[in-house]
Structure formats: structure tokens, C-alpha cells
Chain A
């Protein structure tokens, strides 16, 4: 039996969905899972770490990425972890390589499968923008991996039987001073279960309101954008989906007026269901879509939005 340490993110006293998925993936290997939490409110959130046998709460704040990494690596060592797993969120992607380096271990990043054969862990990860899937093991002292969101089932059931404390690290190199939050409480495109994305076919930034209305009709949905649209300044880079933007794997991805360049497909082709709406019946996006509508976005979108609203009102 191995011990797998899972770094768990939390907000407002609750474990983040992405971390529940990481806990679920770790627990599904059949090995022992120990949750590591840090920051204010960690102890409150620790009881929500389904799938974990125990939880360790690091004292102190989350404000220095290097201090957090050292405290997390120390906690992983104390636990006797043979594996360290985090979610491939913006926090996890920053933290995990640092922790891996401190543990003298390589990292398998943004994995889409995790399994165990006895004490051998293996992971699958997309490389070359998803064009090649690698299945790999690690001979390092600690098997370190980050897990892609919306791919693994969330852990459910009982929380940890024991919650303990671990010391924080006081000296630091970089320190967070402030966060300029995104306007409103908008879901990030990489965490939303539904993404409604627009491309050049939207013809101008003013027409993205149509996509925002569709996203609002769906409920928990985010608006995404193609590279062309971001490069043209119509939408912020934080919304860009693709090889030079974010990788998303929502339940439903609706591509509107997006032709389907390789660089865009790289960021969304592991979505569960892909819908394409495009005027051009020859657009490459249709080859990758589960369902397509050939048509003008400006005609289709308002009707689709109304229909989704009606469906959800039922």
C-alpha cells in the first residue's frame, strides 16, 4: 500500500471541485490518500476531503508560492508519501513542479488517466497539443502528477478520519501583494462544465453578447474565444482556448463561428461533447464535432438561447 499525498485547494470553507476530482482519482488507485491543505480556512475545509484517510493542514498563508511549495514538500515527506498529486489548476500547475523538484522527482503534468498495478503508478498525459498520448511510469523517489480537470470523477463519501497540523514555512522569495479579481463571479473557462466559444465568425466584439446570453441560459457556463479573436483584441487572453491559451475539457463545448484550426482543437478536443455552429459546411470543426448546425450564428444563437431557457425552466 502506497501513500498518495493530494494537494487540496479550497475556497469559502469548501473543497474545490478540481481537488475533489484529484482526491477521487487518487482514491480510485486503491492506495491510501492523505490530503494536504494550506491557508486560512484549511481546517474547516479538511473535513470535506472525501476519499482521504487523513488530512494535514499547513499553518500560515498561501501568499508565497515558494514557501507554499516547501511547506507542502515537507508535509509530503512527513506523511511518507510515495506519490504527490495536484489538480492542473493555475495553483496546481505552479505548485506541483516546485514540490516535485524539492522531492527530487520528475513530474507528469496534466494527466488524463491515473492507475496502479500493485505499487506501480502510471499516468496517461497528452503531449504535442493532444496529438500524442503518452503512458508513463516514474522511477523517481515520489511519483508526482497533476491531473486535468473535468476528466476524473469527484470523490464522494466520508471525509478523513483524522486531521493534523503541520508547520508552515516563514521565509520566502516571492510574495503575493494583491489580486485584481475578474469582474463579477464569472466562471473560468477552464473550470466551467459548459463552454460557449466564439471565433472570427462572430464578426466583432459587440456580438459576443449573444454568446454571453447563451452561457447565462445554460447556467454554469463560461465564454471562450479562439486565438484569432483574442489576437484581434475582441476578448481577453484569459478566455482563449487552444494551444496558446487554455486547455479545457467541459461536458459540453459549443464552438460558434470557429473554423477549427489545429491550434484551437488542441485546447478543446478532450471535451465530452462538442457542438459546432458554422456557416461554412466545409469548416474543419465539423470533423471534430459530435453535433453540427450549418448556419449563421446570428440566426441560430438567439433561437438556441431561448430554447435552452425554455428547457431549463421546465
Chain B
């Protein structure tokens, strides 16, 4: 089975945000990067699926800066077979549709049976590229998947976590799955994997420019919350708290 896992290099969770001088995005100086949390789950599911099926290839694909090679190599160390880096100087300002179009063009060439993406990238927080990709590629897609079963005859069963509960879907290959926490426990790369990764190919491809539709007018830090106060200590503070919630905040 040929499997593609899409990943994204994103600012680390602990990043202290500063606004860039142009006022339209995050100041990149001093930002540390990491593999987006849910993409780790996507890569893990890709590797597990290959292991379960018993044969095939796992290709990790990203659109990003040349530096995203680091995150790709991490995925190779975990067990992916090869990596493709769509080198895009404009990666950090891409909107969901132009990102999906560029990834879809490459995935169209690769023609994998299964594509995994994370539920959401933890920088843009859009959760859009996965279902957009599936739509552009004309593939069946289930989002927020917490359990995936590959059945005979190219059939899949996917369980989706929704507000209503767990929704069970059936679909056929070729398909795209967006991965929710709970689908698996991502493995750590062992020393052997890290050594093996050095010999695995990372192909760099320059992307053609696809224009963005979304134009950022301003980027701002959120307004500071009005300073709060400690209403008291221990159970004795309960009446003061309720008084404040009732009279000042008017929420109860």
C-alpha cells in the first residue's frame, strides 16, 4: 500500500509571540519550530498501516522552508521510507486553499492509496487543508478520526469523534484521513531509526507560485484581559466569588 503522510513545521507550543515589523504576522526571529502535534499521529498511523498491511511505502510530504528537512528526517527516523519537501519561501503566509492546491498537485502525481494529515496544524489552527485536499483530489475523507480499520477489498472503517459521540463511517480507497488524538500513541525514534534516516532520500522540489486569496490586513497580539483579583482563600471565599459573578460579571 502506498501511503502519504502530510506534515507541517510549526512554531513550538512555548513560542512567545511577537508581531513582525510589517504588522502582518509572527516575527520569525527567535522562534523554535517543531512537528505539528497531530501530524505526529498522522505519521504514526501511516507507519502502522504499512506494518499491518505488511508491505508498501510511507512517503512524508510537506510544504515549507528548506529548514523543514529537520522535521521530515524525524519522520524518516520513526519509520517513513522517503520524504518530499515542497520548498516554498512563502510557506508561512500561505492560505488553506493555495496550500491544498500545491499539496494536491504532488499527491496527484504520487497517486497513493491513503493520505493521512493531522486534524489541524497548530500554527494556523484552520483544520482546513485535509478536507480541502480530499475534495480537490476527489477522495473520500473522514476528519477527526480516532479509529481506523482497513478491511478487505480496499474498504475502510473510520470512527470520527464529534460532538454527537463517535460516528462510524465506511469509505473506500483511495481515501484521506485526518488524525485526531486517540488514534494512536506516536512512537519515539530509536537510535537505529535515527541512523537509518540518514540514508533515506529527501527530495526537494521547488513549487510554482499559486496566489493566495486571503490577504492579512493586520496581525495583533490579543488584548490583555482586564486584571483579575483573588477574592479570598479557601471555602470562606465562596460567598465573595458568587457575589462577584452575580453582581460584577453577571454570569450567574
Contacts and interface: CB of A to CB of B under 8 A. Distances in A.
Interface string B38-59: 1000000000000000000000
B149 interface: no
Interface in A255-294: 262-263, 269, 272-275, 281, 286-294
B235 A97 contact: no
A266 to B, nearest CB: 8
Interface stretch (B75-83, B131-139, B194-202): B131-139
Interface of A: 65-66, 69, 89-91, 93-94, 96-98, 100-102, 104-110, 122, 125-140, 173-182, 188, 190-191, 194, 218, 237-238, 240, 243-245, 251-252, 262-263, 269, 272-275, 281, 286-296, 299-300, 302-304, 307-308, 311
What 4 pairs between A and B have smallest CB-CB spacing?
A173-B140, A140-B213, A174-B171, A101-B135
Contacts of B129: 97
A136 B110 CA distance: 34
Given A106-B95, A137-B215, 15 more contacts: A91-B163, A97-B130, A97-B132, A132-B26, A132-B220, A173-B140, A240-B181, A244-B181, A273-B249, A274-B228, A281-B230, A296-B234, A300-B234, A304-B235, A308-B252
Contacts of A244: 37-38, 122, 181
Interface string B79-99: 000000000000000011110
A272 B251 contact: yes
Interface in B128-168: 128-132, 134-136, 138-144, 146, 157-158, 161-168
A176 B235 contact: no
B34 interface: no
20 contacts: A90-B162, A91-B163, A106-B212, A127-B124, A131-B17, A132-B25, A136-B217, A137-B214, A174-B140, A181-B164, A237-B180, A243-B13, A244-B38, A269-B225, A291-B229, A293-B238, A294-B237, A304-B238, A307-B238, A308-B242
Contacts of A273: 245, 249, 251
Contact of A97 (B128, B172, B231, B239): B128
A19 to B, nearest CB: 13
B141 A173 contact: yes
Interface residues of B, number: 87
A303 B237 CA distance: 10
Which of the listed residues A110, A137, A295 has the most CB atoms from chain B within 10 Å of its own CB? A295
A105 B213 CA distance: 7
B231 A292 contact: yes
A101 B246 CA distance: 46
A49 to B, nearest CB: 20
B245 A252 contact: yes
B45 to A, nearest CB: 16
Contacts of B161: 90, 237-238
B245 A129 contact: no
B88 to A, nearest CB: 16
Contact of A126 (B125, B138, B142, B246): B125
